Amino acid sequence: MPVLLAAQVLFQGLASIPYAYTILKAAICLTILYYVKVFFGGAKTLSERVMHSKVVMVTGGTSGVGAAVVRDLASRGAQIVLLTQQPLTDPFLVDYIMDLRIRTGNELITAEYMDLADLHSIRIFATKWIDNTPPRRLDMVILCGNTLTPGGSKIEATEDGVEINWGVNYLANFQLLNILSPALRAQPPDRDVRVIIGACSSYMGGRLPGISYDDKNTTAGEKGRESKDTSKPELSNAGAFYGTSKLALMTFACAYQKHLEDTPRPDKKPLNTRVLMVDPGWTRSPGMRRFLTRGTLWGLGLYLVTYPLWWLFLKSTEEGAQTFLHAAMEAEYSLEKGGKLLKECREVPIARPEVLDEEVQKALWKASKMTVQQLEKEAASRRAKAKPSGNGKAAKPTLAKVEELPDDAPAEASSNTTRSSTSAKKTGSRRSRKVAA
């Protein structure tokens, strides 16, 4: 049949075949759409790695790109620890984990409660994790959890009273990684440990608070020295907080890599932890859908009408997870230094100079540490006021005691200083408390 059609076209012309021109035009259009979809779908990782026995801690692993990353790593045999804000008895979470175990054939999937919008919740979890003898195994920390406030929306706040994008996307990760620093350095020297932080190209439009951007001739280092307070953004547009939080997170990621390198391991061995930043690209994640719809019903209706366009030009969550998987499995990153930005499964240059500027990094780190300490003191005071005393009356408010540390003190030292003498509950495993006794 194909030979006869080809002969007919050759000797009698294409017009001799009914609807030939229509079919040809449709074929050309479908081919173009296919290649456009492939192009916007992004690169796919070719890296492979044995993940059996690897312990991977993940935030944002129940939806969007994070869920796709978890599914792939779990199917490869990794032990997954989901950090979730849902209570561990929540039916949705229980069903999700059970379904994930069945789909991946992996029973080593568990969850721990940790709310990124609550610094005290982060401290409780991270302190319990590191308070073990011997130290728990930890091969990888993947930070996919974040929030995105649509432009024009009402500014929301975390439990600590911080703008939610700044608090969840930056301060929460700052708090978590600082407290987990001893756990990362305690891993055996032959273990490949990676910290993978979710970035976004919107960081190029962010503006670190306290830094003047008016003088274009001012260098990034001079801008950093001009900074007075980088603890909280000073923006009025809710949507602009997201880019600023990602810019701060990337700046902190580079500073955290240097912090790990400058702080000696307990066994004096070379550092085996690499910090990598990953830009997954624009994906059809719940956060992106909320941004496009502006959090409104009419926006959702418009999104559904125009969904074919978003399907064509935006990645699926599985496609967005490819660079995360590349960062987790590519062998070369275990040999090279960290602090790299990855996009489309390859290293890309960092566009904003202040991300790599040590003066800006130090200023941001110092101000963020002071902010976290102050927020934890205020939260401890609120908990003390809410806690009833023995006579049924409200207890006298007591601020958590915070020791003053020098500016060059290790970050994990500051993270362990905040304690409340009246309301703090002793945490950690029984074994660790016996050893301490």
Residue 72, pLDDT score: 94
Please identify which of the residues 54, 223, 246, 340 carries the catalytic annotation.
246
Residue 208, pLDDT score: 85
Tell me, letter by letter, the H, E, C secondary structure of 369-388. Answer: HHHHHHHHHHHHHHHHHHCE
What is the per-residue pLDDT across 65-116, written as a single tens digit (0 to 9) for each? Answer: 999 999 999 999 999 999 999 999 999 999 999 999 999 999 999 999 999 9
DSSP annotation of 62 reads T
Of 332, 334, 177, 352, nearest in space to 259 by CA: 177
Residue 390, pLDDT score: 55
Highest-scoring range by mean pLDDT, 38-42, 54-58, 401-405, 433-437? 54-58
Strand pairing category for 193-198 and 79-84: unpaired
Using the structure block, give the residue that is written with the tokens 């949507």: 239
Residue 385, pLDDT score: 86
Exposure letters 338-361 (e unless 16+ CB within 10 A, then b): bbbbbbbbeeeebebebbbbebbb
What is the C-alpha separation between 422 and 155, in angstroms, rounded? 33
What's the pTM?
0.80
Average pLDDT over residues 320-347: 90
- What is the phi/psi pair of residue 204, to 5°? -65, -20
Residue 238, pLDDT score: 60
Q: Are 53 and 79 in contact (CB under 8 A)?
A: yes
Q: Cα 403–210–337 angle (5° rounding)?
A: 75
Residue 222, pLDDT score: 42
What is the per-residue pLDDT across 266-309, written as a single tens digit (0 to 9) for each? Answer: 888 888 899 999 999 999 988 888 888 887 888 889 989 999 99
Domains of the chain: 55-280+315-364 (3.40.50.720)
Strand ranges across the sheet with 109-113? 109-113, 79-84, 55-59, 140-143, 193-198, 273-279, 340-343, 346-348
Q: Cα 221–254–163 angle (5° rounding)?
A: 85
Name the percent of the chain lying above pLDDT 70.
78
- Is 233 or 330 the better-scoring residue by pLDDT? 330
Average pLDDT over residues 380-388: 84
Of 282, 277, 259, 281, nearest in space to 350 by CA: 277
Residue 226 belongs to what H/E stretch? helix 220-226
Residue 202, pLDDT score: 87
Q: Is 387 a catalytic residue?
A: no
Name the percent of the chain lying above pLDDT 90.
49
User: What region, left, alpha or beta, does residue 105 occupy, with left being phi > 0 and alpha being psi -120 to 50 degrees?
Assistant: left
pLDDT band per the 50, 70, 90 thresholds, residue 210: low
Using the structure block, give the residue that is written with the tokens 């490949």: 192
- Is 148 or 222 the better-scoring residue by pLDDT? 148
Of 50, 253, 52, 56, nearest in space to 139 by CA: 56
Q: Which residues touch 74 (CB under 8 Å, ≥6 apart)?
A: 80, 100, 104, 106, 108, 109
What is the C-alpha separation between 160 and 145, in angstroms, rounded? 18
Residue 320, pLDDT score: 92
Residue 217, pLDDT score: 40
What is the C-alpha separation between 340 and 257, in angstroms, rounded? 10
